[in-house]
Amino acid sequence: MSVLTLAWLLPVFVVAVPCMGIAATGGSYHDSSRLLQLGALLLGTSVMLPYGWMRPLQPSAQCLAWAMLLTFLALASVMSSDIPSMAWRELAVILGMVGVVAGTSSALVEGGAAALSRFSLAALAGCTLYSAVLCLLILTPLFEAHTLAWPDLTVGYDNYRFFNHVQTVALPLLALQAQDPRRRRSIRAAAWLSMAIYWSFVFCSGARGTAVAIALAMVVCIGVIGFRTAWPMVRTMLSGAAAGAVAYAALFILLPARAGFPVSAERTISSLASDNSRQLLWQLALEYVTASPWLGVGPMHYAHFPNPKAAHPHNVYLQIAAEWGIPMLLAIVTVAGKGLRKLRQTILTISEDANRNEGVGLFIACVAILADGAVSGNFVMPVSQMWIAYCLAWAITWIRLYGPGGREAQTVHRIPMTRSRLLVVGLVLSQVWLISAIWQEALKLDAHVAHVSQTAGDVKTKPRFWSAGWF
């Protein structure tokens, strides 16, 4: 168990404070993050190999049925696409994350509550370290008599919006640790401080998607779980937002003004109210849905035909419908709904406050992720993809540990050992194939981006798999 957990903590630590060492040498943060993600998935699935080799897979019968349906729809969509090799890339990334999430959850369940507690500290460690980096980047220019340009603060992200995607996941996870009485006071203080710094940048950058998604998640949580149960975590979130407003005033207004170098403000009311061309992107996605409603145009194939705005529609639901087909969208939405319902049921059966509040925090995080996905590319960017997978592994483990009856109450379907081993080997081979497929491009990324730029125009703000966006 410990080996597999460490294999997951590695990508969490590395990706949460995004690849500053690699990207500092030049090039794109997005491309560096993608390479680190692929390496992490290969490492995680490889460590799963001996773990899965020694014991059969035992999913619930319902889980197995849904997995078979999703696999069938995915393979049909890949094989019907114009360029299957590109579609396979998207599927391989998803398989890697699903495999690592499933394996990590199984290992954590065996380790029990103590293992989950150690695992959850990875989010706090990554956020605390990145908060320290943000503060240094904010304060250093003041001592060097420079003007503060806040869009340049988010080291590790080509666009500060990509950091906003991570904030959507991180803020609820910080909140649940900030008020967890099982943690030492120093850990709770670090969580509070990191939460305030993260909220301050939500205000500074005008992170509409993140703010609305978290607010909506809190409202949904109160509605479906109940005010009394949800309120302790909601109160912590609101208190953190208030602390973030104070931090924003101090770091981005008072200190720069006192030093004589005010923040170079670029956010206006009109810019916050704009849709940033989402109407065009959504209309294009709907055209793809109309053209191929059953299987879609192919995974990642929104990036097949260049448009002037983006290589994805900034809406994960339209993206799935356009690229994978309406049946896949319905299946995934149903599975997500079942997962949230299971999480809710588990929360309502727990009497111990700390465990219940942890579940409420995870519920808010999951709903916020799904809400943010309706207006952003949080399911596309490699860093936020890994944070979403991390949150999902945490939530699944928590349900399995604290659900009614625990593990013993689950009806499982025992997959024969030979088939279990073939599945695990196939998962590792999918990551080996993915690395081999992108290896030549990875060695010459600058040339690859330049080549795509010649045919598709500017690609720096339109990433998909690579920063080049289109293929």
Segment 394-413 shows an average pLDDT of 74
CA 366 – CA 361 distance, rounded (Å): 9
* pLDDT for the residue 217: 98
Average pLDDT over residues 9-32: 59
Contact criterion met (CB below 8 Å) for 167 and 207: yes
CB neighbour class for 437 (10 Å; exposed up to 12, middle 13-18, buried from 19): middle
Tokens of 124: 């706090």
Q: What is the pLDDT of residues 220-278, one digit of tens each?
A: 999 999 999 999 999 999 999 999 999 999 888 888 777 766 655 445 444 554 555 78
pLDDT at 444: 84
Alpha-carbon gap, residue 122 to 19, rounded angstroms? 16
Distances (CA, A) of 304 to 8, 83, 288, 312, 466: 32, 9, 12, 10, 13
Residue 276 and residue 267 in contact, taking contact as beta carbons nearer than 8 Å:
no
Q: What are the tens digits of pLDDT across the range 334-352?
A: 999 999 999 999 999 998 9
Q: Would you say residue 145 has pLDDT above 70?
A: no
Minimum mean pLDDT range among 158-172, 274-288, 318-332, 365-379: 274-288
Does position 24 have pLDDT exceeding 50, yes or no?
no
Partners of 412 in beta bridges: 60
Q: Which residue has the higher pLDDT, 470 or 356?
A: 356
* Residue whose token pair is 């949580």: 221
pLDDT over threshold 70, residue 437? yes
User: How far apart are alpha carbons 326 and 319 in whole angstroms?
Assistant: 10
Cα 162 to the chain's mean position, in Å? 10
pLDDT at 7: 56
Asked if 392 contacts 101 with a C-beta cutoff of 8 angstroms, the reply is yes
pLDDT single digits (tens) 114-132: 989 988 888 888 888 889 8
| Structure confidence at residue 48 (pLDDT) | 76
Of 204 and 417, the one with more pLDDT: 204
| Residue 278 identity (one-letter amino acid) | R
Span 278-306, mean pLDDT? 94
Token duo for residue 57: 């897979």
Among 15, 7, 13, 9, CA closest to 44 = 7
What's the average model confidence in pLDDT over 367-387?
Answer: 94
23 pLDDT band, cuts 50/70/90, is very low
The residue type found at 42 is L
In the predicted model, is pLDDT for residue 10 greater than 90?
no
Residue 409 is predicted with a pLDDT of 46
SS3 60: strand
- Give mean pLDDT, residues 294-298: 96
Residues 85-98 have a mean pLDDT of: 95
Taking 50 as the threshold, does the pLDDT of residue 433 lie above it?
yes
- Kindly report the backbone phi and psi dihedral angles of residue 128, in degrees, each rounded to the nearest multiple of 5, phi listed first: -65, -45
48 touches 427 (CB < 8 A): yes
pLDDT band at 36; cut points 50, 70, 90? confident
Mean pLDDT of all residues in 442-459: 77
Phi, psi of 272 (to 5 degrees): -70, -30
Q: CA 6 → CA 100, 202, 253, 279, distances in Å?
A: 12, 31, 41, 43
* pLDDT for res 339: 95
Bridge partners, 60 (sequence order):
412
Range with top average pLDDT, 140-149, 157-166, 302-311, 334-343? 334-343
| Residue 53 in this model has a pLDDT that exceeds 90 | no
Q: What is the mean pLDDT of the chain?
A: 86
The reported pLDDT for the residue numbered 32 is 85
Which residue, among 207, 190, 203, 209, has the nearest Cα to 244 in the 3D structure?
203
Which pLDDT score, from 0 to 100, does residue 150 have? 65
pLDDT of residue 278: 86
Q: What is the pLDDT of residue 412?
A: 57
- Specify whether the CB–CB gap between 222 and 234 falls below 8 A: yes
Residue 261 has a pLDDT of 64
Short-list 34, 31, 40, 35, CA closest to 13: 40
CA-based nearest residue to 289, from 66, 77, 92:
77
For residue 283, name the pLDDT band (cuts at 50, 70, 90).
Answer: very high
Q: Per-residue pLDDT for 157 more than 90?
A: no
Q: Are the C-beta atoms of residues 452 and 471 closer than 8 Å to each other?
A: yes
Those residues with Cβ within 8 angstroms of residue 91's Cβ, 6 or more apart along the chain or in another chain = 74, 78, 299, 430
Q: Where are the beta strands (DSSP E) in 267-411?
A: none
What pLDDT is attached to residue 22?
A: 46
Length of the chain: 471
Tell me what pLDDT residue 451 has: 78
Interatomic CA distance for residues 72 and 267, integer angstroms: 45
DSSP conformation class of 411: -
Residue 447 to residues 157, 403, 441, 444, 468, Cα–Cα distance (Å): 21, 51, 8, 5, 10
